[in-house]
Amino acid sequence: MASHSDTLVVFFGATAGANGGKLGSDEREIILLVWQIVDLHKKKVGKLQRRLVKPDSLELTDQSKEETGLSVDELYKAEPLDKVLQQFQQSVSAELKALGRSSYTLCVDGPLIIRQALHPEASKKNLVLPECFYSFVDVRKEFHKCCPNAGQVQDLTLPYILEYVCIPELPLSEQVMGLKEVRCMVQLCLHILAEPYNHKFSCFEAVKYKLESGACSKTEPVDSETVIRARGLPWQSSDQDIARFFKGLNIAKGGVALCLNAQGRRNGEALVRFINQEHRDLALERHKHHMGSRYIEVYKATGEEFLKIAGGTSNEVAQFLSKENQVIIRMRGLPFTASPQDVLTFLGADSPATDASDGLLFVKYPDGRPTGDAFVLFSCEEYALNALKKHKQILGKRYIELFRSTAAEVQQVLNRYMSTPLISTLPSSSMVPMPVLATPPYLATGSTRDCVRLRGLPYTAAIEDILEFMGEHTIDIKPHGVHMVLNQQGRPSGDAFIQMRSADRAFMVAQKCHKKMMKDRYVEVFQCSTEEMSFVLMGGTLNRSGLSPPPCKLPCLAPPAYAAFPSPAMLSEAALYQPPLLATPRTPQPPLSPHPTLAYYPPQHHPAQLYMNMNMNYTAYYPSPPVSPSTMSYFASPPGSVALAAQQPHAQGHVASPMMPQHGALVRMQGLPYNAGVKDILSFFQGYQLQPDAVLLLYNFSGQRSGEALITFPSEESARRAVAERANHPLSGLPVRLLVCCD
């Protein structure tokens, strides 16, 4: 078999939009292909072939009409791209056979026609390109090897090169777009093959067939000139979908990092690392190209940003991801007692994990406790698809969620779980100061119904279980807003109160989470006010008939393992000297401020029962699979940021309130037709790129639709704009009232 350098096929293409240096930048379809064979040994050329291509959209820009001289009528009679590519293969194969050759390489004037036009269009149309389009030579780079003093490769143009080597221009009668460029490239190839150059074509460029998976170490150097940030991705996008969007460009091994927000959900962004700056620059030209119906924004990024997302230090993760070309699936909600064999049995024989239990990676807390998350490797797409069919099936007493994942997401989830705990720890001294507060300074009373009551919790439920139960609504919890109620014996009562950021958020949680399962029990969720919550926390009862006053002896709130508060200005001697609380206290942490806080745990025998708020970062140990796109930052805040915000004093001496993640804005729709559904509301707000899970239809106590709905917008600005623009528009002929719900 002859080598690739025996025969060249000089190849040229034009689109219905921008051509030349901007070819492919506007997503326009190919409308013209021209080619000609060059026998490098015999210095002969074949027949010049020109084919028109019928695009799906029969529209030409004025610039394209002027440059190509083509009209819509001519293109209407042409064949579609797949047919023309078949004609290309048949024509080239016939000529090669006549020449006694069996292989060839494409020769182009710059990579744009291959990388920016042909591969992206074929990917969108689900066309399988012939193997010849995955390797080519660039005539400009080949000429630069012969004449390095002619200038930089990126500055070279075909007319300049022809003038430099003294090749005369073609007559005006032959200067038809496509024919002209191919003839000039053929002349240039023959010229550098002859004396004095005697050039041999050897600089073959490749187009990767598929994305290579792999792990990235935090110590690995990453060139900032090779990284981009893509924004506006559909939340369900996988790394393969992103690689398909950049089809034709070579992404580095493991070079797609889907970004997670502070809650561990995908936020519609990704960092992509290419093999060199040239491919990165071509990727920037795809700014606002489309993935399905969404346009994707593409910006420059840095290597440091990529390492924050994709970099890892765990040898266990590196070993797990060392198996190449594997499909990764994330499992969430596993029972804490689940063993590798339980997971393999759940997946079944039709979706075997790679190397059995070696293809499983359980995510754990730093102390070794399971988190309920795991990652599974599959050797092929078929096995992964079979596994995804088991989404929300039951393992033990819990339903399991399964999602596509990536190597970078594995790193991010492991990094988040293995970060330093954000709960303040107990000092190691034998005598621990014990402030005792007689009044609840952190609970402000009020009649606003911005709280929810959880009733019927499992007695073993912890803070993490409640946060998992709340799901995406954890973002709306007020700082220090989780209160678990203990009974008179100091044991869990099965009740808890959650303070939300607004009454609307509390109402939405009560609607969505009422009678949802936690472990093996369903939990009732009711909306209530801060005043009602305070009555219960003081020992009263809350029922349908109203409030019952508290007894004389007050119950207390369940604390976390440890809790820290700023020290009061004055403490009694009895409060400061209490027996030690723990026989083996945790390792002390350095103070967070010049005025260290006092850590304490309320002794159950003390006559004055305490109010205690949960001083912990609610999102620190709660990563989860994607739910919907959001406007959150593409990387989580550094460990301890929330705790620091809560405990570092301002210059004026006031304590800063914790910085919770920003969330979207709610719009309330009133006066909806009772038969209006989610699709109707999405159509009403068409153009705002809302997902179905952004719409919550409200029901009354009888289980019927109330004629109202809550819609979550990514920002307050977009919510107010939607209200202003859609305020006077009817839905199904009925007037609809729109209100922005302010926190």
Q: What CATH number corresponds to the domain at position 14?
A: 3.30.420.10
Residue keyed to tokens 């399964």: 402
Q: Which residues of 284-322 are buried (b: 16+ CB within 10 A; e: fewer)?
A: ebbeebebeeeebebeebebebbbbbbbbebeebbebbe
**Token pair of 271 as six digits:** 């960092």
Residue 193 CA to residue 44 CA, distance in Å, equals: 12
Q: Please return the burial class of 553, using the count of CB atoms within 10 Å of its CB with bins 0-12, 13-18 and 19+.
A: exposed
Asked whether 700 and 625 are in contact (CB, 8 A), the reply is no
308 and 323 in a single domain? The answer is no
Q: What is the pLDDT of residue 214?
A: 75
Q: With a threshold of 0.75, does the pTM exceed it?
A: no
Residue segments in the chain with a per-residue pLDDT below the cut of 50: 1-3, 420-442, 544-662, 743
61 and 144 in a single domain? The answer is yes
User: Hey, how many other C-beta atoms are within 10 angstroms of the C-beta on 593?
Assistant: 12
Residue 645 lies in a domain: no
Residue 375 CA to residue 17 CA, distance in Å, equals: 45
Report the relative pairing of strands 135-138 and 105-108 from DSSP bridges. Answer: parallel
DSSP label at 149?
A: G
Report the SS3 class of residue 319.
Answer: helix
Asked whether 127 and 82 are in contact (CB, 8 A), the reply is yes
Q: Which residues of 75-109 are buried (b: 16+ CB within 10 A; e: fewer)?
A: beebeebeebbeebeebbeebbeebebeebbbbbb
* End position of a domain, from candidates 312, 332, 360: 312
385 and 302 in a single domain? The answer is no
Residue 248 CA to residue 121 CA, distance in Å, equals: 10
Q: Please return the burial class of 250, using the count of CB atoms within 10 Å of its CB with bins 0-12, 13-18 and 19+.
A: buried
Q: What is the pLDDT of residue 605?
A: 36
Report the SS3 class of residue 231.
Answer: strand
Residue 363 lies in a domain: yes
34 and 148 in a single domain? The answer is yes
What is the domain-level CATH number for residue 266? 3.30.70.330
Distance of CA 414 to the CA centre of its chain: 16
* End position of a domain, from candidates 312, 341, 375: 312
172 and 134 in a single domain? The answer is yes
Residue 442 lies in a domain: no
Residue 22 lies in a domain: yes
Residue 457 lies in a domain: yes
Q: How many domains does the chain have?
A: 5
30 and 130 in a single domain? The answer is yes
190 and 57 in a single domain? The answer is yes
292 and 410 in a single domain? The answer is no
* End position of a domain, from candidates 159, 185, 206: 206
Report the relative pairing of strands 30-39 and 705-713 from DSSP bridges. Answer: unpaired
Q: What is the pLDDT of residue 613?
A: 34
DSSP label at 256?
A: E
Residue 282 lies in a domain: yes
103 and 193 in a single domain? The answer is yes
Residue 171 lies in a domain: yes
**Token pair of 535 as six digits:** 């009555």
Instruction: State the angle between helix axes of 303-310 and 407-417 in degrees (0 to 180), rounded to the nearest 10.
Output: 70
Full domain range(s) for residue 691: 665-741
85 and 232 in a single domain? The answer is no
Residue 174 lies in a domain: yes
Distance of CA 258 to the CA centre of its chain: 4
18 and 119 in a single domain? The answer is yes
DSSP label at 126?
A: T
Residue 447 contacts by C-beta under 8 Å, 6 or more apart in sequence? 529, 530, 531
**Token pair of 455 as six digits:** 């009733």
127 and 15 in a single domain? The answer is yes
- State which amino acid sits at residue 631: T
Q: Which of 505, 507, 506, 525 is nearest to 515 (CA)?
A: 525
